[in-house]
Chains A and B, each alone.
Chain A
Amino acid sequence: MQIIKHDINIDFVGRRKLALILSGIVILIGIVSLVAKGGPDYGIDFVGGTLVQVKFTENTDAAKIKDSLAALDLGSVLVQHFGDDANEFLIRIQKTTEDRDLSALVSGSLETSYGKGSYDIRRLEMVGPQVGKDLREKGFLSVVYAMIGILVYVSWRFELRFAIGAVVALIHDVLITLGAFSITGREIDLPIIAAFLAIIGYSLNDTIIVYDRIRENYGKHQKQGFASVVNHSINETLSRTILTSGTTMLVVIALFIFGGGVIHNFAFALLIGILVGTYSSIFVASPVLIFWDDYRAGKRKPAVAQGSAK
């Protein structure tokens, strides 16, 4: 079976300016949302705080839970429905106290309101502000280190301009995913950093495969001009790109739907990242090479003109 005909020839490269505008708009929307919300919505991993996941045996709602905790005077408390179960909730407490009994306090209040045994504290996470700050720094650095490592490897295996194209595409992907998180009001926590690094890895995987073909074809068909070689290479690898992205999407969608609440945002990041990563290896990483080539040619031209005038 074939989804993509082997002699397909879509003019991807010709639409690179359109793609540039499209990417620009999507990134801009994300940045506007990020600015409007005053930065990314960090989870307790990065700013500190307490999170309690509770499952109730009886029907209840967020307002009632909040009421039952009101007497504790815990500062900003947020109660959200969580996961597939109708009576499972997340309680977020901004207070970053090193108070040992916070979980006991919450448990005690719930016991008074709902009775013993009618609820189950399934998860409790408390992160102090200092640990949160450390994790945030480490998380940011790890993304930067990964990018530097990749830049070095790709420039070694290919050329610097390929590495720049790859990293531009990666930044593109991470920015869009970050924007998508901001727009949908999802929190960035520790596993999301892992997802970002996975996206970086995946998007790069895609990009390298197109680059590899460009390198191979450029040796053979140099006369056709660089843009044409790039376009030809994208078309040749298109079938593989679609199929691999397709199978990866299948499993990530399975994870998104069946993986459960704890991993929901993680799967969401991968979902967006793989979509954008596939797009960027066709419409961002390769066009950057051409822009770079055009820019270099533009610089070279005056010199050539002078030469011929002599």
Chain B
Amino acid sequence: MSNSLKIRTGMVLACLVLALVSLGPTLFGSSLPDWWRKAFDPIHLGLDLQGGMHLVLGVDADKAVESRLDTIVDQSEDLLREKDVTFKRVDRLPGERIVITVYDEDAGKQADAIMAESFPSLEPMTLTADGGYIQKNYRLSDSEIEAVREYAVRQALETLRNRVDQFGVSEPTLQRQEDNRILIQLPGVKDPQRAIDLLGKTARLEFKMVMENANPQDAVAGKLPAGGQLLYERRVDPRSGTATEIPLVVESKTVLTGDLLSNAQVRIDNRFNDPYVAIDFNAIGAKRFDQITAANVGKRMAIVLDDTVYSAPVIRERISGGSAQISGNFTEQEATDLAIVLRAGSLPAPVNILENRTVGPSLGQDSINQGVLSVLIGGFLVVLAMLIYYRVSGLVANVVLVLNVIFIMAMLSIFGATLTLPGIAGIVLTIGMAVDANVLIFERIREELRLGRTPRAALEAGYEKAKLTIIDANVTTLIAALVLFQFGTGPVKGFAVTLSIGIISSLFTAVIVSRLIFDLYLSRGKVNRLSI
């Protein structure tokens, strides 16, 4: 054996051993020692194979800007009152604008001074006033709008991550994408509907005082008192399961929000065995809750989650411990999920589900079975065809083909790539195409043999001449695969991955490994005939 042959044999064997070792955890799983399983991950299966959910949520960042402006409106009203400035009203207008309407020039100047001091992010805008009033316009600066939107998406990602973590899915993926979108992948999720409910909820918890003197029926008819807001309380009859919605007029001003919570937990009511959610405020929240309850004994306070009233209990006495409870005909599951979203915090802006792809575990398993079956049948047919057509050389091509599949799987495992159903199709296609390189070489060798060359010379010439063709042909396919990789999402990316890996692997196996096998065969002595 020549030195070059020894080196090449060693190299190929080393690759094979590495490939087999890396595939250990995939094939044998937990029966292997720890160090082995730690060194190599088993091949990741895509959501279409193991079942699971792929969600793209769009964060409504405009809403975050609106609510930021609403906060400024509230705060500026308070500030103007504090400084004894007489004003008619403060409004939010389209175009990220706030308008303070005052009666005279003097109050306008005062308002300008207060706003400039308290809200440096607002740009004053001079607009002509009409109707005898003076309108002071302020616009949120572009950089501030951008900052609010950016913060909303970042905060939403953080909150969703918290919720997913508490939901109990192994290896979830959360990723921020362009255009204020968030990609969430939940492999193997059992109850997709619950996941959607949990993730899609804004979970904005607000406490508002009930306007006792307002008639809810009038409000439904459209006669809403100033500073009031019409909300509905949802009651579910525990026996029939039918839901009724009861109108309720509350003050639009929020007295306390869920931002000041420190904990939320499910408890069971001793009397009726009804689950409820016990909430604890943090220090600031507890202090404010204490003040509010002290000032409003005997009145009703509505507990509002995402504009739905959960309950509106009467404040019987001052509550100073900083804890409260939310009850409202929950099932235990609903109570648990409510506690989760309250703990994880509210989303800074509502989210919309832009894309939802859910595959049940039974379909995933079917897909795996069918995919594997196609690989086996397709592979068997190819192996048979090669044997019939090229005899012993066909056998070499088949050995190489098997190695090829092993190498592809090993690379998937080593690079931590994800195997999807189109990915399996990519492997099937690669099997068909991997043979091509060998066919090219064998046809060349046949041509050379017909020209009367010795087996060794024909082999040399065949490999030499076919090599460039093979590289050119494969690089062009690789270009298509790489474009696909750039573009691809989910399953399609899986196809690009296996196709690219497959091309690289077939180049290696066809040009180097099959050549090596022939060389080893020829090195044994003088060979007169090549079975090809």
* Chain A positions near chain B (C-beta within 8 angstroms): 1, 3, 6, 53, 55, 98, 100, 103-104, 107, 120-128, 130-131, 135, 138-139, 141-142, 145-146, 149-150, 153-154, 157, 190-191, 193-194, 197-198, 200-202, 204-205, 208-209, 212-213, 216, 236-237, 239-240, 243-244, 246-255, 257-260, 262-263, 266-267, 270
Contact = CB atoms under 8 A, between A and B. Distances in A.
Nearest to B388: A1
Given A123-B363, A139-B487, A200 B353 contact: no
Contacts of B228: none
A125 B358 contact: yes
* Chain B, interface residues (CB within 8 Å), range: 35 or more
Contacts of A126: 353, 355-357
Q: Which 9 A-B pairs have the closest CB atoms?
A: A251-B378, A248-B432, A254-B378, A201-B477, A260-B370, A201-B480, A142-B487, A122-B363, A126-B356
B435 interface: yes
A150 B476 contact: yes
A149 B433 CA distance: 21
Contact of B499 (A125, A145, A198, A240): A198
A255 B378 contact: yes
Nearest to B197: A100
B408 interface: no
B495 A194 contact: yes
Contact of A145 (B354, B382, B481, B483): B483
A66 B359 CA distance: 22
B356 A244 contact: no
Interface string B386-428: 1011110000000000000000000000000000011001101
Contact of B428 (A194, A240, A255): A255
B358 A267 contact: no
Q: Main secondary structure on chain A at its contact with chain B?
A: helix
B443 to A, nearest CB: 5
Contacts, number: 232
B367 interface: yes
A135 B435 CA distance: 34
Given A150-B476, A247-B386, A258-B370, A128 B353 contact: yes
Interface string B329-364: 000000000000000000000001111111110110
Contact of A259 (B371, B465, B480, B486): B371
- Residue with the highest number of chain A CB atoms closer than 10 Å, among B473, B486, B491: B473
B469 A122 contact: no
B385 A191 contact: no
A154 B353 CA distance: 43
A128 B378 contact: no
Given A122-B359, A153-B476, 8 more contacts: A6-B450, A53-B363, A98-B354, A125-B356, A190-B492, A198-B495, A201-B480, A260-B370
Contacts of A263: 367, 370-371, 421-422, 425
B476 A124 contact: no
Contacts of B486: 142, 145
Contacts of A251: 374, 378-379, 381-382, 428-429, 431-432
B429 A252 contact: yes
Contacts of B426: 198
Contacts of A123: 357-360, 363
Nearest to A244: B436
Contacts of A270: 425, 429
Nearest to B431: A251
Contact of A194 (B431, B432, B446, B492): B492
A208 B422 contact: no
Interface in B437-486: 439-440, 443, 446-447, 450, 465, 468-469, 472-484, 486
A100 B473 contact: no
Nearest to A52: B358
Contacts of B492: 190-191, 193-194
Contacts of B499: 198, 201
A122 B361 CA distance: 8
A259 B372 CA distance: 8
A201 B450 contact: no
A6 B360 contact: no
